Chain A
């Protein structure tokens, strides 16, 4: 079967660093995407990894290890506005499979 696992909730302190992990089991894997979604809004694309390694975009970085079927999203210098749900999604040859999302709570 095909599945994605990510933690349901993570709590961190403003200014800190947090890592949200995603493990997957799929066939026909093309790449891993991350999305941010604030309450009531549509998911916003953050990153896409097709190759192993770390991709950095400002305060956000995304990592992929295809051999381990694992990736993570790293958020640095956390700000209160980063409080949101974060979804990993696997792109295969004929579909996108979303995880159930990780709710990130940020404490002042």
Chain B
């Protein structure tokens, strides 16, 4: 149980385009979903926390207009990277929680490459 999927697993796009990444909890309802970004061999950086039906809470330094998060249902959250640039290339990882944060189940990650 407690499986989280992400789609796509890998995406390559041109600079200036927008990319949408989906995060789904497959067998449970996630009250809270988290979005992380990871650079090679470095800690996951929490980007934002989203609760179903409400606006996401962004961490300091994360541009909310660039990284749009929608958590429309208890099983789906989306991250849209708008007007992507090469410096946005990274692993984006989501996690989902049943209980608001104490236990998180991670998705497999999405590798974004912006050319």
Residues in A lying within 8 Å of B, measured CB to CB: 33, 35, 37, 39-40, 42-45, 48, 85, 87, 94-98, 100-101
Contacts and interface: CB of A to CB of B under 8 A. Distances in A.
A100 B2 CA distance: 9
A35 B38 CA distance: 12
A40 B32 CA distance: 12
Contacts of B34: 42
A42 B36 CA distance: 9
A95 B111 contact: yes
A87 B44 CA distance: 12
A85 B104 CA distance: 10
Interface residues of B, number: 23
Contact of B41 (A39, A45, A95): A45
Given A87-B106, A95-B9, A97-B108, A40 B43 contact: no
Nearest to B38: A96
A96 B43 contact: no
Contacts of A85: 103
Nearest to B100: A40
A39 B100 CA distance: 10
21 contacts: A33-B41, A35-B43, A39-B101, A42-B46, A43-B43, A43-B44, A45-B41, A45-B43, A45-B44, A85-B103, A95-B9, A95-B10, A95-B108, A96-B91, A96-B108, A96-B109, A97-B108, A97-B109, A98-B108, A100-B105, A101-B104
Contact of A48 (B41, B104, B111): B41
A48 B42 CA distance: 9
A85 B111 CA distance: 25
A95 B104 contact: no
A26 to B, nearest CB: 11
A68 to B, nearest CB: 23
A40 B9 contact: no
B69 interface: no
